[in-house]
Amino acid sequence: MSLIDPLRPLYPFAAIVGQERLKTALILNVIDPSLSGVLIRGEKGTAKSTAVRALAALLPDIIVVEGCPFQSDPDDPKAMSSEVRARVAEGESLPTVTRRVRVVELPISATEDRVVGTLDLEHALTEGKKRIEPGLLAAAHRGILYVDEVNLLDDHVVDVLLDSAAMGVNTIEREGISVSHPARFTLIGTMNPEEGELRPQLLDRFGLCVQVEGLAVPEQRVEVIKRRAAFEADPESFGLGWAKETEALRVRIAAAIARRPRLVATDAILLDIAHRCLATGVDGHRADIVMLKTAKALAAWAGRDEVIAADLDEAQTLVLPHRQRRRPFEDVFRPDAA
């Protein structure tokens, strides 16, 4: 597990050339973290990691309980650890700090204990109290969990990540003892399909999926070279040069986050979603639910108060392609083929 150094210069999100679908998918998961993350498929060198790391700089700062390893929110009991809730119940005034949202990276060698955390059984036996040794999911609470080469992770570890992302809770069980803590985070996985595919069951658990490729327009490729050279020569000056665009994105994202809970989807829109999912041949009902959430996030991002058909058109390209049923020997689906 590693935290991205907040003091290390990051390439500005607004300065990324092209890759509009990738950037939109990332922003939608910030607007509505319950989308269960995004899987980014594509060849190396297509700005996947750069975009994920840059995303955190666009997010509003958060207030956390000082010293809490679970990033507890002092204003939301549902986002507090059990220890912090107990302190509140006793009338304690919680010390707080304000900090940037964290991006936590997960190495592909991580074990389940490292991801989930463990229980200190010795402390439980000697003191009669449960004590958690926090894992990756505790560090990622209220932040971004970034898994590069997610297709190379052990399937069981991926299952744990996706379950926590969907439920917003992480449960640690050992020797008959069970402890839970909040684990709400934006899960972002990247993979190169040439190195192996994810099982369809795991693909379905990612809310959105995008395919990224190298830019095909020569002028855009030249712009990539120029911007990257300028960033490497003087990261601070380059960042300042994009400060206005970055702040505009921050303001727009904050407005979309505030607007999303008020979004309305008519029965006609819901019926349209059902028809699209049935026509695509997806299994279960997860696609319908995620598609509605995605459409609402898109409407909020556009500054509207109601979902329209155009939102469904765009949501469909992000939600349905990787969930399509495949027959035996059929080519592996590419998300941009819909």
Site of tokens 């917003």: 168
Measured between alpha carbons, how far is residue 146 from residues 65, 187, 220, 257, 329 in Å?
23, 6, 27, 21, 32
**Which tokens sit at 337?**
């083929």
Q: Give the sign of the dihedral formed by CA 205, CA 49, CA 157, CA 170.
A: negative
Classify 6 as helix, strand or coil: coil
- Strand 2-3, strand 117-119: pairing: unpaired
Would you call 286 a catalytic residue per the annotation? yes
Instruction: For residue 84, give the nearest of 109, 59, 56, 65 by alpha carbon.
Output: 65
Site of tokens 């439920």: 167
Distance CA 247, CA 253 (A): 10
CA 307 to chain centre: 22
Burial of 168 (0-12, 13-18, 19+ CB in 10 A): middle
Say which of 286, 304, 325, 334 is annotated catalytic. Answer: 286
Distance CA 169, CA 73 (A): 14
Rounded (to 5) percent helix, strand, coil in the chain: 50, 15, 30
Phi and psi angles of residue 290, each rounded to the nearest 5 degrees, phi first: -65, -35
Report the catalytic residues: 286
